[in-house]
A and B are shown apart, each in its own frame.
Chain A
Amino acid sequence: MTQSPAPAATASAPAPPGAEVTVSVEDVHVSYRVYDDPETGLKQIVAGGRRRRFRTIRALRGVSFDVYRGESLGVIGPNGSGKSTLLAAMTGLLPLESGRIRGRSRPALLGVSAALRPSLSGRRNIVIGGLALGMTREEVRGCLDEIADFAGLGDFLDLPMRTYSSGMRARLLFAIATVRIPEVLLIDEALAVGDQQFRNRSRRRIDEIRASAGSVVLVTHDLKEVTDGCDRAIWLDAGLIQAQGDPAEVAGAYESSVGTT
């Protein structure tokens, strides 16, 4: 690395000595161009003001941090602070305005829901989801039972997915998404759904991933999840890192800024 990035809003980052960096985020800026659609009542049309234009949203405004091997990093912050954009950028899917993101392997977002078809059965969806994640049909077949077991589908395996309860659906999505474990796993609020049993099971699965020398980056609104399950935390607000470091301290600082509810 040429130099240590030090944007203004970043608090000191405790780098575990000798720890191996799996992903390095350096001064990343991302903006979106969205279509501005103002109210168009009779008054506006008469006034000739019905002009639609694009507005630029600056989702990330200079974010730098490293992810280390074997750690689980929690990202907290209010809605619209850029947390999800950050995860998308870390996969390399988003064009950056400036800055760079490097890694030893490509991080993968936990999530296949967009690939699945509600009108098809769970069994067919497991195949579709596996293929979307880059597996071959043969590989998917090999772990079909395991996925169905984890999701607890039972007799529902051959019924259309739209007939599943939301808990069953969440379990299936999580089971498919974690069937192939990437070196760096990015999770966007996946654990907020499902019952306690599912949360315990998915927590164990995440611990397995970390134990196999991977890293986990977790975006969540559940501060308890960060203080209990993460080794480090980042507080993101308005596209900038407000604080990073010990989960309890960061969560505490975030909480006091929001005000206790």
Chain B
Amino acid sequence: MTDGDDGPPLFDLTDPPSVSDYLRDVWRRREFAVVVPAQDLRALNMDTALGQFWHLVNPALMIGVYFLIFGVILDARAGVDNYLGFLVIGVVVFHLTQRIVQDAAVSLSRNEGLIRSIQFPRILLPLSTVNGQTLGFLPALGVAAVTLLATGEVPGWRWLAMVAVLAGQYVFNLGAALIVARLGAVVRDVNQLLPHVFRLLFYISGVLFSVETFVTDETWRRLFALNPIYDIITCARWCLLGGSVSAAVVVGFVVWSLVLSVCGFVVFSRAERSFGR
């Protein structure tokens, strides 16, 4: 048997590609991770009466319910000037990360057929989740901006810094999505556990109340700064509502985003070939 003289040599098809080849392939196929989730987003509400308006109505209703319960009935407004604005930022930022992470847990199992039939860098699937949910979050961001303007906030140069916070959150979300996607592919039970994790996180991330007001002990405040979601929300509030932010929170945000995204890539790509078995 001969390999023949012309043509490229035979290479092992089951060899994993090098990191640079892998990333080049991801970049070449980047449009997939934007166009497909955007189409899915369209398809989501296509048969409803309000159609694409749901992307606006949904976040508005959600914020309304939270304001009714925690702003009016339970009154958690202590220490906050603009509670509605405070709440809007917390809820919108928190739900972006929550939806991405929960969706990422099933991003591989949901696309099992695709994984089994087409060769492509699997990272495109959790990446599509992050992009899709981030696109779907833009209307909510619009609702938040309108709420802030309506409650008397004046846009200043700090509002521009929000772009950096969103970019940082994107990196954080991507890292979290990659780790959870791999976990979810190995142990399907993760999917059941995550809502409870996020329910807990919701109450310890200062979404509804001002941590600065309710937590006076310095040690406890430092512990709060270890919670990345609290860090992101606090930075976002600093941009849009003003006030002050501690260095620990900013450092926490940056370190979490960098560490999680690098770890996420390593953790995910190590299992690349085991997905879809």
Chain B residues lying within 8 Å of A248, measured Cβ to Cβ, are: none
In the complex, how many angstroms separate the beta carbon of A239 from the nearest chain B beta carbon?
Answer: 17
**Known contacts A132-B32, A136-B31; is-contact A95 B118 (Cβ 8 Å):** no
The CA of A136 and the CA of B2, in the complex, are separated in Å by 37
Give the residue name and chain of the A residue nearest to B29 (CB): A134
Binding site for A on B (CB under 8 A): 1-4, 6-14, 28-29, 31-32, 35-36, 39-40, 42-43, 46-47, 111, 113-120, 273-274, 276-277
The CA of A137 and the CA of B28, in the complex, are separated in Å by 11
Q: Which of B10, B12, B35, B117 contacts A111 (CB 8 A)?
A: B117
Q: How large is the interface on A (under 10, 10 to 19, 20 to 34, 35 or more residues)?
A: 35 or more
Chain A residues lying within 8 Å of B13, measured Cβ to Cβ, are: 23, 90-92, 101-103, 106-107
Pick 16 A–B contacts, CB within 8 A, sort by A: A1-B3, A20-B3, A21-B2, A104-B11, A108-B118, A111-B118, A112-B118, A114-B117, A114-B118, A115-B114, A117-B40, A124-B39, A128-B36, A132-B36, A134-B29, A137-B31
The CA of A114 and the CA of B42, in the complex, are separated in Å by 19
Q: Which of A103-126 contact B (CB under 8 A)?
A: 103-109, 111-115, 117, 119-120, 124
Chain A residues lying within 8 Å of B276, measured Cβ to Cβ, are: 93
The CA of A33 and the CA of B274, in the complex, are separated in Å by 12
Chain A residues lying within 8 Å of B31, measured Cβ to Cβ, are: 131, 136-137
Chain A residues lying within 8 Å of B1, measured Cβ to Cβ, are: 1, 4, 15, 21, 66
In the complex, how many angstroms separate the beta carbon of B60 from the nearest chain A beta carbon?
Answer: 25
Contact A92 B119 (CB under 8 A): yes
The CA of A244 and the CA of B14, in the complex, are separated in Å by 24
Contact A132 B119 (CB under 8 A): no
Chain B residues lying within 8 Å of A95, measured Cβ to Cβ, are: 14, 273-274, 277
**Known contacts A32-B277, A127-B35; is-contact A20 B6 (Cβ 8 Å):** yes
Chain A residues lying within 8 Å of B46, measured Cβ to Cβ, are: 119
Chain B residues lying within 8 Å of A94, measured Cβ to Cβ, are: 277
Query: Please, what's the 1-or-0 string for A69-103, where 1 marks a CB less than 8 Å from any CB in chain B?
Result: 10000000000000000001011111110001111
Give the residue name and chain of the B residue nearest to A99 (CB): B14
Contact B119 A91 (CB under 8 A): yes
Chain B residues lying within 8 Å of A100, measured Cβ to Cβ, are: 12, 14
Contact B114 A93 (CB under 8 A): no
Chain A residues lying within 8 Å of B115, measured Cβ to Cβ, are: 93
Chain B residues lying within 8 Å of A91, measured Cβ to Cβ, are: 13, 119
